[in-house]
Amino acid sequence: MREKIYITRKLPAGIVKKLEGNFYIDMWDQEEKAIPRDVLLDKVKDSQGLLCMLTETIDQEVLESAPNLKVISNMAVGYNNIDVEEATKRGIAVTNTPGVLTETTADLTFALLMATARRLVEASDYLREGQWKTWSPMQLTGMDIHGATLGIIGFGRIGQAVAKRAAGFGMNILYYNRSRKPEAERQTGAQFSELDDVLRESDFISILLPYSSEVHHLISAKELSLMKKTAILVNTARGGIVNEDALYDALKNENIWAAGLDVFEKEPVNPNNPLLKLPNVVTLPHIGSASIATRMKMAELAAENLHNALVGSGDVKRVN
């Protein structure tokens, strides 16, 4: 009997077809709606492989419902939606999709930085709402990007890719990371600094750390108080790294100038989240890797990880 794979979101037919030859495939058949929790718990009962998204919390309850599960393939780089420790105890491999989304996420990060600095969304709304009546010297003025100092918190693949883009704008680049990256420093001109120094000296702060319990609310009231009043915070990593209540206070009280957010602590974000009411916040619905080519590569890699782990041959991007 062929092993069963359950896929928690509708994927392109070409991706699924590559798995059908070796496995029995069952799949949640909707793109725009996440799989209900009760359906997920039922479907994993007899599954050997699970291909899931960030929208699914794969915790102890799910794992207890899946006695035959061998592999969890997450279609993302981050995997904080999965209880990796519990999976490891049960001998379940956990995989992710590193590398393929680096450049696309770096593009989005820099685009969000620029949109926030130059108030592009606010300016577009201003025009569309019929408020543009004349030109005036300080109308919708923003912050310069060229020649400014960018502080990058988290200097992995994406952080380094953002630094390369910043170098093209003549920015001064500081970074904070658990370990120094001498080769990346040579390639980008970035300088290593302690976290507090990066926060104090930067005009833009870009958060690109992987999420873990150790960095939960790494950026809170104290850290925000160190930033310049003209500084802009950009988060395209994970929402839980920033204390949203503290960020709201800092923005509302003009202790920092603006924020660009692609991620939130709870997703999808509640429309009543007070951050969405502020004019100096640019918000996006977690689209960091959302180019057609990159999402296809992510799906292909997630399927490849699942296939190779189950058949026991080929490369597997394991996280445990």
Q: What is the pLDDT of residues 40-49, one digit of tens each?
A: 999 999 999 9
Interatomic CA distance for residues 77 and 103, integer angstroms: 13
Residue 75 included in any domain: yes
Which among 197, 157, 158 has a CA at the least distance from the CA of 174?
Answer: 197
CA distance 287 to 34: 16
| In a domain? residue 241 | yes
Query: What is the arithmetic mean of pLDDT over 289-311?
Result: 97
Pair (68, 151) in one structural domain:
no
In this predicted structure, what is the pLDDT of residue 311?
95
Together in a domain, 157 and 213: yes
What's the maximum distance between 2 C-alpha atoms anywhere in the chain? 73
Predicted confidence (pLDDT) at residue 103 exceeds the cutoff of 80: yes
Residues 9 and 118 placed together within one structural domain of the fold: no
Whether residues 184 and 93 share a domain: the answer is no
Give whole-number Cα distances, 307 to 91, 137, 315, in Å: 17, 60, 10
Distance CA 40, CA 285 (A): 24
Whether 238 sits among the annotated catalytic residues: the reply is: yes
How much of the chain, in percent, has pLDDT values that exceed 70?
A: 100
Short-list 15, 193, 208, 18, CA closest to 108: 208
Q: Which of 238, 300, 304, 307 is catalytic?
A: 238
Token pair for 163: 């630094």
Active site residue 157: no
Structure tokens at 145: 């990007």
Q: What is the pLDDT of residue 91?
A: 98
* Residue-wise pLDDT tens digits, 147-168: 999 999 999 999 999 999 999 9
Residues 94 and 230 in one domain: no
For 197-254, the pLDDT digits (tens) are 999 999 999 999 999 999 999 999 999 999 999 999 999 999 999 999 999 999 999 9
Query: What pLDDT score does 314 carry?
Result: 96
Is the pLDDT at 270 greater than 90? The verdict is yes
Question: What pLDDT score was predicted for residue 6?
Answer: 98
Catalytic option among 9, 119, 165, 286: 286
**320, part of any domain:** no
**For the chain, where are the E strands, in sequence order?**
4-7, 24-27, 49-52, 71-74, 93-95, 149-153, 172-176, 191-192, 204-207, 232-235, 258-261, 281-283
Q: What is the pLDDT of residue 172?
A: 98
- 53 & 169 share domain: no
Q: State yes or no: pLDDT of 1 exceeds 80.
A: no
221 lies in some domain: yes
303 found inside a domain:
yes
Determine, yes or no, domain membership for 319. no
Number of domains in the chain: 2
Q: How does pLDDT run across 62-94, given as a tens digit for each residue?
A: 999 999 999 999 999 999 999 999 999 999 999
Q: Say if residue 262 is in the same domain as residue 300.
A: no
175 Cβ neighbours under 8 A, 6+ residues apart: 151, 152, 153, 155, 159, 163, 181, 190, 191, 192, 193, 198
Beta bridge partners of 207: 153, 235
Domain membership of residue 238 (yes or no) is: yes
Would 316 be classed as within a structural domain? no
The DSSP bridge partners found for residue 165 are none
Q: Do 34 and 74 belong to one domain?
A: yes
CATH number for position 60: 3.40.50.720
**Is 217 annotated in the active site?**
no
Q: Could you tell me the residue range of the domain that residue 180 belongs to? A: 102-283
Q: Same domain, yes or no, for 156 and 238? A: yes
Q: Which residues pair with 50 in a beta bridge?
A: 6, 72
Tell me the average pLDDT across 38-65: 98
**Residues 85, 216 share a domain:** no
Say yes or no: 234 and 194 in one domain: yes
What is the pLDDT, as a whole number, of residue 32?
87
pLDDT number for residue 181: 97
Q: What is the pLDDT of residue 124?
A: 97
| Residues contacting residue 135 through CB under 8 Å, at least 6 positions apart | none
pLDDT band for 21, please (50, 70, 90 cuts).
confident
Residue 278's SS3 state is coil
Q: Angle, to 10 degrees, between the axis of helix 13-20 and the axis of helix 292-311? A: 10
Nearest-10 Cα torsion for 143, 151, 187, 162: -60
Tell me which of 64, 85, 254, 267 is the catalytic residue. Answer: 267
- Please state, for a pLDDT cut of 90, what percent of the chain lies above it: 98
174 shares a domain with 147: yes
